[in-house]
Amino acid sequence: MKNTFHNADEAYEALLDEVIINGIEFDGTQAIFNCGFYITNPEDNHITNKQRNWSLEYAEAEWQWYLSGDPSIDKLGELYGKIPPIWERMANSDREVNSNYGYQWKRKAQIDYVCAKLKTILIHVTQQLVYTTAKNMINTRKTHLVLMQFSLLL
């Protein structure tokens, strides 16, 4: 299966074909699992397939719902003006969907954990760069003074 696409629309079309051809029955629908892919132009993120009926307004509301970390489908309804039927079906008796991305990100501070890890890696890489640069300067026996300042915005 192809795993690199130019934009969201190309990815959607290819993955739709994959689901139709190789998808397995799962909870009343066809699905594929463990599917990772790259989009080389992620800012080109509109899906134009007419059957998909993609809506920028809905996509923005769902994104805001995820960012809120609130698992309640009522929050999505507040943001979008209505609750799409798929979320009604997926919600538990408390009207919550604990598999929504925002809930998962907020649970156990996963975003904070990932950001802290990335900062640690960035600091380590920067320190290695400074060390290597200084070592190379000493090894080339430069006689003039070089002032190096590295700013790290975290």
Domain boundaries, the chain: 1-53
Whole-Å CA distances, 68 to 8, 47, 63, 75, 107 = 24, 24, 9, 9, 12
pTM of the model: 0.57
108 secondary structure, DSSP code: G
Span 1-5, average pLDDT: 91
Sequence length of the chain is 154
Average model confidence (pLDDT) across the chain: 83
Span 31-56, average pLDDT: 90
Flag whether pLDDT at 137 surpasses 70: no
Flag whether pLDDT at 139 surpasses 80: no
Q: Note the pLDDT of residue 81.
A: 96
Span 112-121, average pLDDT: 86
Given a contact cutoff of 8 angstroms between Cβ atoms, the answer to whether 61 and 83 are in contact is no
